[in-house]
Amino acid sequence: MTSLFDAAPYLDGYRVSFVVLAVLTVMILVQNLMTAPLAFLNNEQTPGMPLRHDHSKLSFRAMRTYANSTESFPAFAMALLVAIVAGASPTLVNWLAVLHLAFRTGFWVVYYSGIGKVAGGLRTQCHVGGLAANLVLAGTAIHALLAG
């Protein structure tokens, strides 16, 4: 056996979802790495202290984006893994995972660049889109568990 995909062939249908999970993991690790040059090296932020400034500063946006990512990732990862373990439709699970990734990527691009309104703009729409995809994914997981 070379991988879990060999031991459990049904998992192969979820390969796209596993790729999305890996991509999100790498993106969050990169965000973590980037907090130092974007927030701390210019002394706009102090490690371990509350954030200073506001959305006009990249240091503030970098820290908030990373924090939001670390807060939302566990719920996505668990919903995804439960949906897979429960045997939910691979097509639906994969589409929801890709949709979540697309919205999260949009959220990051909009937040880092500082475009749009602070609340109620494109950033909020991307956040809500990712959250909605995750909620549907969690509902899909629950449905698969109850129907199984």
CATH number for the domain harbouring residue 33 = 1.20.120.550
Q: What is the pTM of this model?
A: 0.90
Spatial CA neighbour of 13 closest among 87, 99, 98, 101? 87
3-class SS shares of the chain: helix, strand, coil, % to 5: 80, 0, 20
pLDDT tens figures, 53-109: 777 888 888 888 999 999 999 999 999 999 999 999 999 999 999 999 999 999 999
Domain count along the chain: 1
Q: State how far the Cα of 128 lies from the Cα of 8, in Å rounded to an integer.
A: 34
The parent domain of residue 100 ranges over: 4-147
pLDDT tens figures, 5-44: 888 888 889 999 999 999 999 999 999 998 888 777 777 7
